[in-house]
Structure 1
């Protein structure tokens, strides 16, 4: 069968299989990708014209039918549906229509850096809470929407996989699957035979634990996509067997010079020089040689600045764009180890000294296990009576050997490059002596605010926070302490939602327990450090209480960063440290570690992690743990000997601070001016619809579909899908929306399925339905005009062509424009701003149907005689968009060549006639 051939251009209309379609990018004369005229990207099909029974032919967009007029509200509904449905906007940021976040100016800096690189290799090392996930998401979404990548893998620690999956779906409209040791078999079974995993699932979040084994590692390397994000990248660059395997994996991924690689970390330099330069070598192998080159003017260091961005909070202040960042107010509260509690602490110390003396005198003694028991006991005693009793009740012998006991993670808080911690209480029972049973009974008898001065202080402080309107997160070191604290807070505050989240729950269960508190007016979360990474708490909580001091200052910053981070709505976040003023261990940690870290942070505006030195810290802590308790306060403790022990560590710490100071001046990227391109971003927001537009559209659409939103508390609304038309209900069900859904319009972005499916449903009805709810034509009487004025709602399609990495790309862009003409015999064409304002006019009267139809018909005949003006408008819009693209390109020093061509003829979506009110 001989079929006519057409070289169909991207963005043009064709007719095939009995309906109209828009030709999509990647189409060729012998193979077409088509989107239905009123459909979405999910409805795109591919076909081979030669195999079609009916020839694929050029088509034209249908004119509005004057016989089917609607009212002015229905006209606005169509305009809003059309605008909110657009995904491939015409502006220079292709991703705008697909993201559910309004980025700040400073968050565009990594994106602008990425646009100037042929292959994107970036180390994004911004502070905790500034928004590295958003910055990386903007880059990959932009690359996807420009057609430069089609597949993505995110490599991250296992406790972050669900968070990444949620962020990519909710903020960037990217549906991902999670590849972990538990899910891998199921996911692989779902992939059709002979199809690659990434061809079936283009966007995957991969747990770093999954690729530890050689088989999984080799499998991943064989199918790895063209773009990889590595979160907590510092955990892949340090020494140690597991980390070395991770680094080798990244080295092999980076060996493909065409692969885009985004490395994310808040702690790129933790004092380990080789680890830091290992990380840099993944961007370019030659960056590793910078370890021995210190000149600030070194060309290689200047080249590194194109690939490395690192900002602190003070740098963000310089953008004058700190919306979403509250003021952090820090304070300290102290309690005394007095009465029965003080006696218990002294008895435990005496017990530990006796164990030490016994071990030294006995040939069979094991000093290492004694030191372990000492640290374990005094840390648990400082935490809570519950943790102390658990430690005393758990036998140490047989659970640890003398060589490794002092590195047990239950004693410490993780290193700077690995903050995952075991929140189980360490064992401390060395013998079944009557003395031990006495200590256990003592601990159990002290439970509650009467016997426990630390708990009593917390209760007073939480009461004050709640009274001032704050919702706190109380961080504890051990599981037993968290449950103990939560139980007593529930008793003290029966009307407040109190929940405990610890490492005994899976990550999904932890998140669920947090989310159950969402509807409570007042809430207190008690958590171990399993929540100091992975789950963002800024939407529900506004204060942090360090119930137990962390021995690692980075842990404190991670805890506070869960609440004090991008997106926090409160203007102030309170952070409080509790400690025993006469507890020598608290005193050493506070004065020798935490306050020195805080002094560095105040000087640089960023925390410099404490270098690793387990032996040094262990010795100092053991010396301190057996120090006599001073009855007055911490400042009178003599820490001379412990401080002498950690001097080598302090020297490393000071060196890391100086290097960080030098790096920050180069890598804060102050030369890049994102404010220069914010106008283009804001233009696209206006063109594609703001938060207010989304709210107005959803409320209006639901009302006209006989499913009005029900008011809910806290300015939220409840959507009732049950009342929608059957076709819309089925489409919502496909997206998992079947039950009543609570909507917060401050969080509901235009890319949410609710918005896009409502828009698609109304547009399809307007184009194909007999009695559409959204009107393609209307005649309105209004006081806003003094002469007949006609508004034409146009959809412009443009073909965007550019060359990057010597490869041509052809994309389609769409935009909505309102054209207005005043009068008919001597028409006056009005500005686009005036046209948009007139479309928002208020009707002031009604008209007979025949007059409405007559006016629309006249307006239709008028515009059909103006093809040159419509084509000239399309060309002007294409030129204006090209100017916007060039401005962004120049700001980013982007590489490549751009061209924008309008697709003709222009679609006339709607015709709305405004008649002056004669009264």
Structure 2
């Protein structure tokens, strides 16, 4: 069969297989990539123009007066048109494809990114401000602009699953996790020599997996054009693992065309070398900061301001963005060691002093005895269960000699690199027979009767729960967390209790947190495996520090899990627990935590403890143990400032804080202000609709389809999907939605409800279906009421002259030419236009047109009059076809100006052209007649 070759350019309309399609970019004759003119994105097809029996050019159908629409049809159709647009015309392309409504301050990194080519950004906003959202917005925007096709997120292993979920659910980016456990499965079936990172366009990669030489070289070979690095500060400090990570980032950044976004809440807390290493990844010239002065340094600062954004929470206030963050209420509660617990603690102190003194001058024996006693002290301060675990675990001299760093890691609260594995109680058994007596004492102390710390926690939790809070209790050790679960489960009526520790893989931790969130009242007990990066704000709103961390930034990280963007509660609580007569708690509190808090208040950001090798902390604890005495609880009289070790730590920390303060002044940025961002944001909300528009549309659409929403005060709404027509149920089931589901239109959503934005599958499916039925004029499943009329007439008090309101869908083709290569992007926009008056009608555009449609009708018109007016509109459309095309051309020019305005840095590297695709799609036409009528 010889079929004439048909040539269709991207954006043109064709008819094939009984429906209309839009030809997509990437079509190469004779193969055509098609998307339905109306319908879901997942209904696209690729067809062979020469083999299709009935394929030809198509015209968008004109409205049919035989299917007259009411004012309710007009409002619902206008909303459906806006909600169906997911290839937005600008100035931001991505807003139609995300399930989150960003705050205006979160658009600053996006605007900064769009003024760069390639994008190189260091986003260093405070904990909880929303760095994940800011980075993902950039990725989604560049993807929707056609500037990137692949992306990778590199992050610590405990954050992989969270990133995958955020990208999939909030940004509709189908990312896959690449970890040590998943890589083999992903590689299975790939052609020899192919890479995971070629086969999967969007990946979230564990830094621990990818840092090795073998995996690093494969990643660099197939590295995507856009890379996000979360917790970037963990890649530029000391240690072999971090050196491997830095080498990876250095190779990634070496490609001058690659987009790179670095995320960290602690970019330069006094560590100059680490900070300059980060900056050099953005631009090699920034390495000169280490030695630059005078004019060169000022020039570098000016350049850095384009690549570096850092906001503290007070900086967000100027955006007047509403109540973004909750109010944090902090308190401290103390317990006192008494009775058998006091006796046990003093016996432990006596043993520690004795064994340390007996070590004499033998350096090896000193290390073994000190590390064993320090492990015992930490576990005793945590819980009887942790003490028992430590006393039952043998600390061998070989461990101390061969792997001292691993031993130290379990003793001290080190870096976030080891959060998944350092909550196991350290070994304290050195083979000393005296430990057997201590073990027996520890076993006898379990339970509230003899454990004043547990007793105080129970009392405090009862008050928190009575005040309406859902707490998370952070412990240092797995043994302590399980001990608390055993003794607290069932103690609070109607409260579900669960525990999450490092003994669970990251996927199981996520599952347990989500399962706990289904309960009405919740109590979570966790170790520090959940203290960084994991979002708990949807389900929990109070933090109790059951064990003091020896790493002061860990406390802020714990509280940042609930005190962050998206917390629905207006208040969060944070409680610090410690032993009033415990010298170890006293040293940590006074020397470490109080100092850290003072610095944080003065600078507005935390400064890490300057003790990476733990030598100062070891010396401090050794001094505490050796100088502690039994009589009269002398630890209450301890003046820790008199300790030489405490003074040395203070001097070093103060110096580091001064450097951090200087850095914040030197690198203060001239960041974008609200006036730079708000106009673009308000314009996009007007084009695409806000959360109230989504609520109105979803409510009306579900009602029109016979599945009205059931609203509940402050608890969202129930959407009965089972009552929808079969074709809609099938499409929603394919998107993972079935049955009766809880939904909410505000963020964060009500408990057990899903946040529904304009890009949520429910909204997009409803919009596509109603729009397709209106355009085709067909009914399905005998749902006649669901067909929206595209033309209608009524009297309106909103107009003073006969007004024809047109709902237009404009399609534009954006051609980008860069380095001799051209790419084509199709975008769409919904545009209401009105003509007022009979003779020489005047054109009107603006937001007021939708308000005119929504103004309550003031009277009815006889059917002959309505039919006459509708046919007059069709005649008017034929007569003013050129005027409609002129509107499309004007919008194309505006779109080109928008593109150049926000992508100004790209002008030097490429050329841009925007063409309006014609004829214009007239979705609907409604005539508003002035006067009250009858």
TM superposition score normalised by structure 1: 0.92
| Deviations 1:513-536, CA, capped at 9 Å, x for gaps | 222232444322221101102320
Structure 1: distance between partners of 2:662 and 2:509? 40
Task: Answer whether contact 1:311 1:664 (CA < 8 A) is retained.
Answer: no
**1:739-765: CA deviation from partner (whole Å, max 9, x where unpaired):** 433212222111111211221222222
Could you tell me whether the CA contact under 8 Å between 1:381 and 1:387 is conserved in 2?
yes
Q: SS of the counterpart of 1:175? A: coil
Shift of 1:712: 5.6
Question: 2:776 aligned with 1:768, yes or no?
Answer: yes
Q: Secondary structure of the equivalent of 2:410?
A: coil
Residue pair 1:271, 1:652 contacting (<8 A) in 2 also: no
Counterpart in the other structure of 1:313: 313
- Structure 2: how far apart are the matches of 1:22 and 1:863? 22
Q: 1:906 to 1:364 in 2, by over 3 A?
A: closer
- SS of match in other structure, 1:676: helix
Say if 1:777 and 1:911, in contact at 8 Å, map to a contact too. yes
1:348-747 aligned at under 5 Å gives the runs 348-360=348-360, 366-397=365-396, 400-402=399-401, 404-405=403-404, 407-415=407-415, 421-431=421-431, 433=433, 435-611=434-610, 612-628=612-628, 631=632, 636-640=637-641, 643-645=643-645, 649-711=649-711, 714-746=714-746, 747=755
**CA displacement, residues 90-112 of structure 1 (integer Å, 9 cap, x when unaligned):** 22111111122222333222222
Tell me: CA distance 1:668–1:84, structure 2 relative to 1, closer, same or farther (3 Å): farther
Partner residue in 1 for 2:876: 862
Counterpart CA distance in 1 for 2:885 and 2:503 is 66
Return closer, same or farther for 1:270/1:76 CA change in 2, 3 Å cut-off: same
> Does the Cα contact within 8 Å between 2:116 and 2:903 map onto a contact in 1?
no
Deviation at 1:76, TM superposition (A): 2.4
Asked whether the equivalents of residues 75 and 774 of structure 1 are also in contact (C-alpha less than 8 Å), the reply is no
Name the structure 2 match of 1:283.
282
Determine the C-alpha separation between the residues in 2 that align with 1:806 and 1:658: 51
Distance 1:190 1:719, change over 3 A: farther
- Classify the secondary structure of the residue corresponding to 1:443: helix
1:240-269 CA-to-partner distances (Å, cap 9, x unmatched) read: 222222222222222221111112112223
Alpha-carbon distance in structure 1 between the residues aligned to 2:814 and 2:165: 31
Displacement of 1:52 in angstroms is: 4.3
Q: Distance in 1 between matches of 2:371 and 2:230?
A: 34
For residues 795 and 905 of structure 2, what CA distance do their matches in structure 1 show?
A: 45
Q: Which residue of 2 aligns with 1:918?
A: 933
Residue in 1 that maps onto 2:75? 76
Instruction: Judge which range, 693-702 or 657-666, deviates more.
Output: 657-666
* Corresponding residue number in structure 2 for 1:43: 43
Secondary structure of the structure 2 residue equivalent to 1:448: coil
Aligned-pair distance for 1:40? 3.6
**What does the per-residue CA deviation read over 1:175-217, in whole Å, with 9 as the maximum and x for residues that have no partner?**
1111112112222235578875445421111112222443322
Secondary structure class of the residue paired with 1:366: helix
After superposition, the C-alpha distances for 1:10-45 in whole angstroms (9 at most, x for unaligned) are 433233455422233345676643322113433334
Distance in 1 between the 2:649 and 2:803 partners?
A: 78
1:324 is displaced (CA, Å) by 1.8
Which one is further off, 832-841 or 298-307? 298-307
Rounded Cα–Cα distance in structure 2 between residues aligned with 1:783 and 1:280: 61
Q: Does 1:337 align with 2:350?
A: no
Report if the CA contact (8 A) 1:677-1:887 is conserved. no
> Contact 1:780–1:845 (CA<8 Å) still a contact in 2?
no
- Is the 2:104–2:681 contact (alpha carbons within 8 Å) kept by the matching residues of 1? no
Structure 1 residue 753 corresponds to structure 2 residue 761: yes
Conserved? CA contact 1:108–1:674, under 8 Å: no
Is the 1:582–1:629 Cα contact (8 Å) retained in structure 2?
no
Once the two structures are superposed, what CA deviation does each residue of 1:317-341 show, in whole Å capped at 9, x if it has no partner?
Answer: 3444464222323222222223332
Q: Residue 752 of structure 2 aligns with which residue?
A: none
SS in 2 for 1:562: coil
2:893–2:914 contact (8 Å) kept in structure 1 = yes
- How far has the Cα of 1:895 moved from its partner? 7.3
Q: Distance in 2 between matches of 1:99 and 1:828?
A: 37
Give the deviation of 1:896 after TM superposition: 5.7
Q: In the alignment, is residue 141 of structure 1 matched against residue 155 of structure 2? A: no
Aligned to 1:248: 247
Inter-partner Cα distance in structure 2 for 1:458 and 1:744: 35
Q: For 2:828 and 2:65, how far apart are their aligned partners in 1?
A: 26
> Residues 88 and 95 of structure 2 are in contact (CA less than 8 Å); yes or no, is this contact kept in structure 1?
yes
Contact 1:70–1:774 at 8 Å: present in 2 too? no
Equivalent residue of 1:517, what SS? Answer: helix
Q: Deviations over 1:38-88 (max 9, x none)?
A: 134333344565x34558644321111222224332332222221111012
Contact 2:332 / 2:575 at 8 angstroms: preserved in 1? yes
Aligned to 2:93: 94
Cα-Cα RMSD: 3.1
User: Residues 778-797 of structure 1: matches in 2 within 5 Å?
Assistant: 778-779=791-792, 781-784=794-797, 789-797=803-811
- Note closer, same or farther for the CA distance 1:599–1:807 as it changes in structure 2 (3 Å cut): farther
Judged with a 3 Å threshold, the aligned counterparts in structure 2 of structure 1 residues 668 and 568 are, in CA distance, closer, same or farther, namely farther
Specify the SS of the correspondent of 2:262: strand
